[in-house]
Structure 1
Amino acid sequence: MKIAMISEHASPLALAGGVDSGGQNIYVANVARQLHRAGHEVDVFTRRDRSLLPLVSEMDGIRIINVPAGPPRQLAKERLLPYMDEFADFLVSFFRNERRPYDLIHANFFMSGKVALQVKRALNLPVVMTFHALGRVRRIHQGNDDGFPDERFAIEDDLVRHSDVVIAECPQDEIDLIDLYDADPERIEIVPCGFDVDELQPVARREARATLGWPQDEFIVLQLGRLVQRKGIDNVIRGIGALKRDHGVAARLYIVGGNSESPNEIATPEIARLRGIAVQEQVAAQTTFVGRRGRSHLSLFYSAADVFVTTPWYEPFGITPVEAMACGTPVIGADVGGIRYSVRDGATGWLVPPRDPAALAARLAHLHANPARARQMGEAGLARAQSEFTWEGVARSLEHVYRRVARLPQPRERDEAIAARSARSAAGGAFG
């Protein structure tokens, strides 16, 4: 197949960890990479956000088309909607000039979906839609802090009605699509996010800590991801404070993420707020901001921790719990969205209410007192990640969806058809 992926604000070339660089960037990069490895031709269309970017870049055999839409500089995703008509006009022209036509479009995020529907109407191409986050769910949880206009809701309604298939990343995502958008369950497919088995695997804890320069004999809690308020990192810090006050455990917390490799409060203002909370909770000496780190180092961080914690207010899927499980580390996650799906409560870790530091502290205290239980949970998480959440499996599931919407034979049907043609050809040669 020839597949066009649209990801207007989340380029697969961007470093994850910034305010607008996270799960979607990782998703698009890995799905495209796996589809290419499976023999498909994949182009990713993303907005040009730097003036020196060429029109076409390349990543592991995948073309990245840096679409000239809006000013060639970084803009918050909340400011990009006015440029989507320009983005769509470019794609229609680009698609028409390609020697080999595209079989389908896979749009990521609602603005990419808006573009995809305009291309669909111009060129009659099927559209697969992954929202990554739903506007109505975001508004429920963020209220006035949601920077997107109400226009988003009508765009999403249109996408739910007119996309050929909508990908839900977890059961809660499917429920939200049906309850809040009146989506047709027959046109929803659940396909989760994943991890790269070549990138993330367990490292012996003592080795990982020695490499990172972390203390060997302390109870270490890891928080890793984008440093934005909805991720609930303040709750993790307060949980570390409650762990110390109520359970007598002085855990060490490492926070990885931000807009720069050094923990810079100017580049990442959220660090200043979080440091203030650590001071209030009297755990500033136990809390270390690491800064952003490249993906090649993430196995070390996940493996070095006794437990990975993530307690966002809401989370459409959440890749980091899966990544932690892939490294054999137990996870304590908020009982919301995709985390409720990826973390098996009591088996691979625990689910706790968001914004509940006392509940988080109680679970941390139990793991501190029961290292054998923590190891069992880590082993169960590793098995679950490897069986349910690899990017290869994700891409294979998407490939089946793509073939159906593009009205192409599935791999088994294709192989059977090739075998039948070969048999007919052989028979003709024998008897002709």
Structure 2
Amino acid sequence: MSYSVAMLSVHTSPLDAPGRTKDAGGMNVYIRALAHALSQRGIQVDIFTRKTDPSTPQVVHLDSQVRVIHIPAGPQAPTHKNELYQYLPTFVRNIDEFRTEEQGEYDLVHSHYWLSGVAGLALSELWQVPHVTMFHTLARLKQMAHPDEPEPPLRLEMEQQLIQQVDRIIAATGDERSQILRFCGAASRSVRVIPCGVDIELFQPYDRRQTRAQLGFSDQQPLLLFAGRLDPFKGPDVLLRAAAMMQEEAQIVIVGGRSEQDEDVRKLRELAAQLGIAERTHFLEAQPQGRMPLFYSAADVTVVPSYHESFGFAAVESLACGTPVVATRAGGLMTVVRHDETGFLVPRAPGFFAERLDALLREPALRERMTQATRDSVLRFSWDSVAEQVQHLYEALLDEASCLIAQ
């Protein structure tokens, strides 16, 4: 069955490096990897994203069947995602003009994040095609996890509309599905659980001593890794506070952000200095995906202290590289990390992280037992498996649409 999918990612491009900005993270990896895996199954995918740089080509080919298409909508410059709603009608209109100029048709819309979902509703109605969405993070669930950080009322309202109007919602875990049903009022048949994925061939274990030497880290001290966006919601400060409380004096490696001038990096450096751990804390800007297996392999433990994760890409990638994870007991992390088997799940407080990290670093037998279990635990998250499940969802929706037309 050959068909074309219009995939929408308004506020961040799959070409952006994860961790480099506050909007570039696991979702970027997901969209790019899923599109490629779908293309291997004969599906044509066009990914539409907002143009943020006048010098960016309109069309970038990722492979023979996947294109990233940059659509003018608002300033051609980085713009905070909370300011983008007003440009969605322009985004929708310009996508349809692109389609008309190419004399093409799309059989299905697949949107990512609420802004793309709003655009997707308009396009699915305009083209009379099914609409699948994945929120990646839902404002209501995020607010429940972190009540001190209120979410914009517009986002809460639009997400609720999307939940009622889209044809299908993809949830990354059973826990996320349950929360969408319970707290957001979604219909049971509209929410399908399909996990996110990991590139099993790219993320694999390497020799710890050799990778540390290659990256320039000491082999005389244990090493704790944080990888991802330097957003307070992700909790890099929690790792720093935990490290200062630990009995083991570990190296701390934080991979994310842009450069020395990054405001988030500056604040974290100041915190490390205040805590007296600056000399053993290393800050590196966001790295290409191809280098991340080296960092995961160099670490004794990867730390994921987020308030909430719909899935937890850093955790899955670390486990695929044979490195145990200590993570917050929240969201998708409870599905990815098997407590006391491949790592530990703890309440989101520095003291709990410090206790479990000390235990892992002080007990080689425990760490070795967990290391042996890590990779096998995530093999089910291969991108081919994920793409197969998404393809089945697409085809079920297309069959439903065909039946409605026939009636």
Give the TM-score normalised by structure 1: 0.88
More deviation, 153-162/121-130? 153-162
Match of 2:258 in 1: 259
Matched, 1:30 2:52: no
Whether 1:184 aligns to 2:187 is yes
Q: Does 1:224 align with 2:230?
A: no
- Report SS of the residue matched to 2:356: helix
**CA separation in 1, counterparts of 2:275 and 2:92?**
49
Quote the offset at 1:176 in angstroms: 2.2
Measured in 2, the distance between the counterparts of 1:144 and 1:369 equals 35
Query: Given the alignment, which residue of 391, 401, 404 partners 1:399?
Result: 391
| Structure 2 equivalent of residue 415 of structure 1 | none
Whole-Å separation in 1 of the counterparts to 2:346 and 2:238: 11
Q: Quick one: percent identity of the two aligned structures?
A: 34
1:8–1:45 Cα contact (<8 Å) kept: yes
Q: Which residue of 2 is the match for residue 337 of structure 1?
A: 331
Residues in 2 aligned to 1:198 and 1:333: alpha-carbon distance in whole angstroms = 24
Contact 1:19 1:259 in 2 (8 A): no
Question: How many angstroms apart in 1 are the aligned matches of 2:163 and 2:57?
Answer: 34
Partner SS, residue 161 of structure 1? helix
250-259 or 88-97: bigger deviation: 88-97
Cα shift at 1:199: 1.9
Q: Does 1:9 align with 2:11?
A: yes
Shift of 1:375: 2.1
1:214 paired residue number: 217
Partner of 1:153, secondary structure, is helix
Mean Cα displacement is larger for which, 96-105 or 317-326? 96-105
TM alignment of 1:292-331, pairs within 5 A: 292-331=286-325
Matched, 1:73 2:77: yes
Match of 1:204 in 2: 207
Deviation of 1:326 after TM superposition, in Å, equals 0.7
Q: How far apart are 1:141 and its partner, in Å?
A: 4.1
Maintained 8 Å contact 1:330/1:375: no
Partner Cα distance (2:146, 2:353) in 1: 22
Letter in 2 for 1:402: Y
Cα distance in 1 between the residues matched to 2:285 and 2:246: 24
Cα distance in 2 for partners of 1:378, 1:144 equals: 36
CA distance in 2, matches of 1:35, 1:343: 27
In the other structure, the counterpart of 1:53 is 56
Deviations 1:296-352 (A, max 9, x none): 110100000011001111222221000000100000000111111111111110001
Alignment match, 2:282 = 288
**Aligned partner (choices 98, 105, 111) of residue 101 of structure 1:** 105
- 1:373 pairs with 2:376: no
Question: Once the two structures are superposed, what CA deviation does each residue of 1:77-109 show, in whole Å capped at 9, x if it has no partner?
Answer: 122111111111122333344444211111000
* Matches for 1:144-155 after TM superposition, within 5 Å: 145-146=149-150, 149-155=152-158
Deviates more, 1:357-366 or 1:303-312: 357-366
Aligned length: 397
- Structure 1: runs of 5 or more not aligned: 410-432
Equivalent-residue separation in structure 1 for 2:400 and 2:157 (angstroms) = 31
Residue type matched to 1:281 in 2? L
Structure 1: which amino acid aligns with 2:306? P
Aligned twin of 2:132: 128
Task: Report the AA paired with residue 119 of structure 2.
Answer: V
Q: CA deviation at 1:407?
A: 1.1
Secondary structure, in 3 states, of the residue corresponding to 2:214?
helix
Identify unmatched segments of 5+ residues in structure 2: 402-407
Amino acid at match of 1:106: H
Correspondence for 1:425: none
Deviation, 1:180, is 2.1
CA–CA distance in structure 2, aligned partners of residues 288 and 120 of structure 1: 47
Q: Match for 2:14: what amino acid?
A: P
Structure 2 letter corresponding to 1:385: V
2:404 corresponding residue in structure 1: none
CA distance in 2, matches of 1:395, 1:384: 19
1:217 deviates by 2.6
- Which residue matches 1:277? 271
Answer with 206-215 or 327-336: which moved more.
206-215
Counterpart check, 1:348 vs 2:317: no
- Match in the other structure for 1:429: none
Q: Distance in 1 between matches of 2:146 and 2:365?
A: 39
